[in-house]
Amino acid sequence: MAILPDGGLPGEILQIMVQRLLDCPPTERETNNRGEITMNESDYPLSEVPKSARQGLLPMAAVLLGFTFFTATMWAGGTLGKAFSFSELLLVIVVGNLLLGAYTSALAYIAYKSGLNSVLMGRFCFGELGSKLSDFILGFTQIGWYAWGTATIAIVLVKTTGISQSWEIPLMILFGFAFCITAMIGFRGLDLLSRVAVPAMLLFILISLYTGMVDVGGVSALFGIEASGSMSFAAAITVVIGTFISGGTQATNWSRFASSGKVAVWATLAAFFIGNGLMVLTGALGTLIYQQADIVDVMLAQGFVVLAVLMLFLNIWTTQDNTIYNFAVAGCNLLRTDKRRTVTVAGAAIGTVLAVFGMYNFLIPFLILLGTFIPPIGGVIMADFWLRHKGQYPKLAETELPAFNWLGLGAYAVASACAYFSPLLPPVVGVVVAFVLYGLLIKLPAGAAAGSVASATDNG
């Protein structure tokens, strides 16, 4: 296929990248040279996604699966593999990812209905200025993951190839900026990469799992392996949910592009129940069979050197670009700017600096933090959409919102505290308390009056 500006898909990508580099102002709706509708090149960071830009199941599932195929999830699975028998492990994986899938799918449906992502929904439930709190929390966690991924690929590549350790920092800088290119393009860039990477990674994982089953002596041998560590069931569920609760809360950045509610829900379930579950299982099996949680280390142990290197690049890249895209969307709402490309590059720079200075060493505390303080945001959003706005947000641009929605902020603070001190399933406690408390607060006289004023403003 020729790479020409008027010659099809590669040319379109080139044109988009040139527009990005020139920082062309976004247009609300465009047509390409074949008369087809194309999405706003800024991906609507400050407004609803229009019906003309909605996507089907294939691109939605590809992008979301690419997001959830991540090395860190396998490492979390590795901690579970040591602590449970294989039958107990399967139960933990199913329950944990079912809860994660249910949470993310509920938000995905709201995103489809409203055309908004979580940070824009936050304006309704936290206020114009109050929503900046959720912008900061969600953006900070994504930068943390971006730093972790940037450090991971550099360190693992140096280890795998045997080159000098002095290359680690230059490689961190290289990958820190290279992985944001597809995010700069936008949804289309993420989709094109994922359509190639996801099937390839699935094939590599299946080859590795089959080899592992042969090496261990079959499934029956797995059920005979005894646990060598200890972890409570509640702690294990928290680890599973914590692997992607922050990303799941921001998966609305893509589910708002869904063409129907079914597409939004099924694509999200495929990613966060099946995809994330497969990553946890892969890490756990790697630990049980080879004492290695990372699929790259496992494939190296199996002798698949080339596949291991390809898996490393695809695995990290498809999550890194989604992660920095999340940061850019949160940053655009925080700063009230539509310059998503500029925010993307700035975020990549921050993440790279954090990687160089050792963010790689703080994964486990980071997971615990995510599992505690992120879920209540989703709980407040769901209650605000279904209970206060009756399943229909007004147009954001036509709505005058208060600077602070103290009911939403108060419900979030209390729910976060409950989650932090809860001995049982903190992420679930955070979501439930946030949903119930916000629902109760808006029913109180003061809360009902505030809701009436807001409704009148919305309709006015």
Question: What number does CATH give the domain 56-374?
Answer: 1.10.4160.10
pLDDT of residue 40: 52
pLDDT of residue 195: 95
What span, in angstroms and rounded, lies between the C-alpha atoms of 35 and 273?
A: 38
Domain-by-domain residue ranges, the chain?
A: 56-374
What span, in angstroms and rounded, lies between the C-alpha atoms of 90 and 84?
A: 9
pLDDT of residue 117: 96
What span, in angstroms and rounded, lies between the C-alpha atoms of 349 and 347?
A: 5
pLDDT of residue 171: 96
Q: What tens-digit pLDDT sequence spans the chain (460 residues)?
A: 333 333 344 444 434 443 443 344 333 444 444 333 344 557 999 999 999 999 999 999 999 999 999 887 888 888 888 888 888 999 999 999 999 999 999 999 999 999 999 999 999 999 999 999 999 888 888 888 899 889 989 998 998 888 999 999 999 999 999 999 999 999 999 999 999 999 999 999 999 999 999 998 888 888 887 777 788 888 899 889 877 887 899 999 999 999 999 999 999 999 999 999 999 999 999 988 898 888 888 999 999 999 999 999 999 999 999 999 999 999 999 999 999 999 999 999 999 999 998 876 665 576 567 668 889 999 999 999 999 999 999 999 999 999 999 999 999 999 999 999 988 888 889 999 999 999 999 998 766 555 544 544 544 4
Q: Which two tokens stand for residue 55?
A: 């996507």
pLDDT, tens only, 83-141: 888 889 999 999 999 999 999 999 999 999 999 999 999 999 999 999 999 998 888 88
pLDDT, tens only, 173-192: 999 999 999 999 999 999 99
Residue 30 bridge partners (DSSP): 38
Residue 31 bridge partners (DSSP): 37
pLDDT, tens only, 224-276: 877 777 888 888 998 898 778 878 999 999 999 999 999 999 999 999 999 99
Q: What is the pTM of this model?
A: 0.85
